[in-house]
Structure 1
Amino acid sequence: MSSKRKTIFNLVFLVVVFVLTIHFVFRGEDIGDILQAVRDADWRYLLLGLVCVILFILGESTIIFYMMRTLGAKVKMGHCALYSFVGFFFSCITPSASGGQPMQIYFMKKDKMPVPVTTLVLMIVTITYKAVLVLIGVVAAIFGSGFLRGYLGDYMWVFYLGLGLNIFCVTLMLTLVFAPGLAKWLMVKGLKLLEHVKFLKKKESRLKKLEESMDQYHATAAFWAGHKRIILNVFLITLVQRCILFTITYWVYRSLGLHSVGFFAITLLQSMISVSVDMLPLPGGMGISETLYIRMFEPVFGDLLLPSMLLSRGLSYYGQMLISAIMTCVAYFVIRDDTQTEKKEKSVC
């Protein structure tokens, strides 16, 4: 599938899922009452929630800037911010957030960032991003399973599925990093098996591309071994970054004039939704996120459940997507390939 067709498919898929989600969530509800409750919300708390969205995105920018400078790459903090906005926008509109990093690499290449450096940085960002979610999910499963069961009920299996998929993903990535020889052997054997059973057509170029991509993990392993303190710092920044985003639902809770449920409980519940849906093949976990939100937060928000969901998802997902979309447009104008520009100027002359 060509890049243009893939983009069109992702956008159509996003719109279809969005329309179906809106239909099933708000079917039979009084939209006027919901919108009135939204209008009555305290805008100061909502503004705080919006600030959390921006801080969440800039948290990744800080990590990229920190690691780029550690690796000796000359990069501006403003451009790192644009890389993050681009990544989050395309992650929001593609299933399993698969489109974010390829587009970040595209803009980094335009910015003349060395490809081995950008690949290494983004790989570590991905591993720590997933690892933080795994840590939160495992701790919650061990020490708060009773608490979660009280809110999730019959949907506990979705939480365990999401946690299991994240654990598998992190384990696979760490295997690629720390046992690259074994990982390369397994991936090559797996590819040959798929070709043998005719699931994939045999292509030498595909095998070569796979082997080259696997070799990138050697550099990650070497960096990890020699920069443990930096990896720890990145992990801690990522932990704070993710927790900031999870607090948005609490600020929505306060904006609606509610205060009986504590900050920690609401933030934990929201983090469990992220653990559950992060690896599912839906853009932004759309559909299942709303379903889990309704199930988990009904005892918390009561009659204000749907207005709260509209505000919470509006800020944390749709707001994030809109802000990132605007900044992605800015990136197209700010980050330019000077080589292409020079060629065009010479051809005009």
Structure 2
Amino acid sequence: MKKNHKKQIIWAFISLLLAFMSIWAVLGQSKEMSFQDLGTALLACKPGWLLLAILCMFGYIAFEGLTIWYLLKHCGYTRRIDQGILYASADIYCAAITPSATGGQPVCAWFMLRDGIPMGFITAILALYLIAHTFATLVIGFLTVILNPASFGSLTLLAKFLVILGYLTVTGLAALFVCLLKKAKQIERIGGRIIDWLTKKGWVKQNKYWKNKLHGVLSDYSSCLSVIRGKGQVFLIAFAFALLQRLSQTIVPSLVYLAQGGTFRNVSQVFASQIYSAIGSMCMPIPGGMGIADYLLFNGLNAFLDKEAALQLELLSRSCSFYLCVAISLLIVIIGYIQRHRFYFRVHDKN
């Protein structure tokens, strides 16, 4: 755990540095814009649209929490909705400060383990969530291109390349996650060979213990999947929640644009810019897609807004949809950790 904490601290520092550099790079594109100008622009926003944007930002956390809560419930592990939101917050925060989109899952799993959910079920639930979330992203992305092809055509050549690479990455991940659902025996065989190799190297001493542990986890994993496999409606509802999660984040820049006095005519272009930003940023292992996401969002907005307006909208939108979302997720994680830390030691002190 100490090594994991050190890695998280290092990646958190790197993420803060990337965030600072991304904001500085965007501001550097303008000779006139400053943080004071951004503050003035924020105060000038229409409060109704801005509040709706913040609510949709929180919806990104809430809908992931609902997806995990719903899947757990139908696998026989009923938990409170606020626990689902904590699991989602852990996933979102840690994914934002690590170079992998799945980087938040180990921390999410830690909270679930503390709440008495077996590791095999956790693995299956998180795999199912990833599949639902990935397919939701692909569906919205493809529909955006089909319904608004001009939005993709307005991007620069580099932006198009990054978005296409992002689509290929997301599609590949979706195929990989689906394959892993059906390969429990192969995973156990490969895991057993790795344990044997580690035993020969002297890094693992209890060969049989670890193989039995792996077998137990994968048995729970298979049991969880067999329950879901017999209930197609469960996955469809989980997919609907994941779709709402992705939509709630994607619509934030459009609402910020309207808060600034923008017209409804350009809302579809703002929406498309955000989905291209989200998908394109997945093409490289960078914490939170920082830098790439900013570039792609600005690129899409600059197709119909002047440079200064596009930069301003990009910074305000990312501040709400990403930075504020990560900050709230961190706050929820800290509260959840303190609560579980106190409960854990209270129980063990009694024993």
Q: Is 2:103 the counterpart of 1:64?
A: no
* Gaps in structure 1 of 5+ consecutive residues: 196-200
Q: How far has the Cα of 1:144 moved from its partner? A: 4.7
Q: Is this contact kept in 2: 1:86–1:328, CA < 8 A?
A: yes
Q: For 2:273 and 2:71, how far apart are their aligned partners in 1?
A: 31
- CA RMSD, Structure 1 to Structure 2 (Å): 3.0
Amino acid at match of 1:318: Y
Mark the CA change 1:154 to 1:222 in structure 2 (over 3 Å): closer, same or farther. Answer: same
Q: Which of 135-144 and 68-77 deviates more? A: 135-144
Determine helix, strand or coil for the equivalent of 1:261. Answer: helix
Q: Is 2:16 the counterpart of 1:11?
A: no
Q: Is this contact kept in 1: 2:141–2:276, CA < 8 A?
A: yes
Question: After superposition, where does 1:34-45 map in structure 2 within 5 Å?
Answer: 34-45=38-49
* Gaps in structure 2 of 5+ consecutive residues: none
Question: After superposition, where does 1:147-186 map in structure 2 within 5 Å?
Answer: 147-181=151-185
* Of 70, 90, 93, the match for 1:89: 93
Q: How far has the Cα of 1:111 moved from its partner? A: 1.7
Mark the CA change 1:234 to 1:98 in structure 2 (over 3 Å): closer, same or farther. Answer: closer
Q: Deviations over 1:63-116 (max 9, x none)?
A: 222222212213112222222222222222222234311111111122222333
Determine helix, strand or coil for the equivalent of 2:304. Answer: helix
Q: How far has the Cα of 1:8 moved from its partner? A: 2.1
Q: Is 2:106 the counterpart of 1:126?
A: no
Q: Is 2:264 the counterpart of 1:263?
A: no
Determine helix, strand or coil for the equivalent of 2:154. Answer: helix
1:22 is matched with which residue? 23
Q: Is this contact kept in 1: 2:154–2:303, CA < 8 A?
A: no
Task: Kindly tell me the number of residue pairs found equivalent between the two proteins.
Answer: 338
Q: Is this contact kept in 2: 1:277–1:289, CA < 8 A?
A: yes
1:331 is matched with which residue? 336
Question: After superposition, where does 1:271-282 map in structure 2 within 5 Å?
Answer: 271-282=275-286
Determine helix, strand or coil for the equivalent of 1:41. Answer: coil
Q: Is this contact kept in 1: 2:89–2:332, CA < 8 A?
A: yes
Mark the CA change 1:35 to 1:223 in structure 2 (over 3 Å): closer, same or farther. Answer: same
- Amino-acid identity (%): 21
1:198 is matched with which residue? none
1:342 is matched with which residue? 347
Q: Which of 73-82 and 32-41 deviates more? A: 32-41
Q: Is this contact kept in 2: 1:261–1:300, CA < 8 A?
A: no
Q: Is this contact kept in 2: 1:86–1:324, CA < 8 A?
A: yes
2:238 is matched with which residue? 234
Q: For 2:277 and 2:262, how far apart are their aligned partners in 1?
A: 21
Determine helix, strand or coil for the equivalent of 2:285. Answer: coil
2:247 is matched with which residue? 243
